[in-house]
Amino acid sequence: MTVELMACTPDPERICGEAAAICTHSGNPEKALRAAIRSGHESVLEHASYTFRITGLSRVALAQLTRHRLASFSVQSQRYVPLKPESQHYPDSIQKHGFSRKAARLSRAAMDLYAEMTEAGVPMEDARYLIPQGVETELILTMNVRELRHFFRLRCCERAQEEMQNLADTMLELCRNTAPLLFRDAGAPCVLGTCPEAHPCGSYHVNPPSLRDHP
Ligand SMILES: Cc1cc2nc3c(=O)[nH]c(=O)nc-3n(C[C@H](O)[C@H](O)[C@H](O)COP(=O)(O)OP(=O)(O)OC[C@H]3O[C@@H](n4cnc5c(N)ncnc54)[C@H](O)[C@@H]3O)c2cc1C
């Protein structure tokens, strides 16, 4: 999977900071932004957004990603774009348990039948029903900072599926590079010292108190 940050709102910390400063008539946007984040007044974070190009994401992960209703998506169509035989994602556990070859054989058989059917005139939108969910896709995704932080809370967590965690971790790193203040306390909830999961992973991220306090 590759994740490219295509664009983001220029100077996102200043924009969100100005929004926070307007609310409290503060002369210090950065301080107002820190206070807004600390107190959970996150609507000011909706003024900056980020757009990513994601390639090589499985349809399994896509189904999870598109549950985030406040994001915007443009996904490669399986109705108009032929599937490539080699575009299958397998999680590490399949290889670890010795099923790589069997899995590849099954995917190849499905892809061969897909090709045979489409050549015979079955529309791509119908032939795709045969394809395993590991098939990869490509999309462009846009989220505002508030939604990104929410997404990172859910998907950087060890309880999220590995492919989603990898995606979220990569996106978070790209975001942090552009706006450390907006994203320094983003990530799994244990970054802030708590875990709401019924079945915690047991390997909490350990962060310095300064990060938890978001000074
Ligand atoms: C580890 C994990 C396991 C999961 N397992 C399952 C599962 O077994 N089955 C399943 O179906 N899903 C599952 N999900 C998906 C999950 O239930 C959510 O659909 C998904 O994480 C999107 O979260 P969200 O709704 O908070 O986010 P978004 O859609 O991004 O929304 C962001 C926030 O906006 C608000 N919001 C958005 N829409 C509404 C609305 N209509 N009404 C009120 N408030 C709204 C909420 O506060 C929401 O948290 C799982 C997710 C995770 C992370």
CB of residue 69 inside a 6 A radius of ligand 1: yes
Query: Given pLDDT bands bounded at 50, 70 and 90, which one contains residue 36?
Result: very high
Q: How far is CA 77 from CA 5, 49, 54, 167, in A?
A: 21, 24, 14, 21
Q: Which atom of ligand 1 is nearest to the CA of 155?
A: 53
CB of residue 67 inside a 6 A radius of ligand 1: yes
Asked if 111 and 128 count as a contact pair (C-beta separation under 8 A), the reply is: no
Catalytic residue among 101, 155, 176, 212: 155
Asked if 201 and 158 count as a contact pair (C-beta separation under 8 A), the reply is: yes
pLDDT above 80 for 168: yes
Query: Given pLDDT bands bounded at 50, 70 and 90, which one contains residue 201?
Result: confident
pLDDT digits (tens, 9 = 90+) for 126-139: 999 999 999 999 99
Q: What is the pTM of this model?
A: 0.92
Sequence letter at residue 13: E
pLDDT above 70 for 208: no
Query: Given pLDDT bands bounded at 50, 70 and 90, which one contains residue 204?
Result: low
pLDDT above 80 for 210: no
pLDDT of residue 203: 64
Report the residue among 69, 169, 197 best suited for mutation to probe ligand 1: largest number of ligand atoms under 8 A from its CB: 69
User: Could you tell me the distance, in angstroms and rounded to a whole number, from the CA of residue 52 to the centre of ligand 1?
Assistant: 21
Mean pLDDT, rounded, of the chain? 91
pLDDT digits (tens, 9 = 90+) for 94-127: 999 999 999 999 999 999 999 999 999 999 999 9
Query: Is position 69 annotated as part of the catalytic site?
Result: no
User: Could you tell me the distance, in angstroms and rounded to a whole number, from the CA of residue 69 to the centre of ligand 1?
Assistant: 8
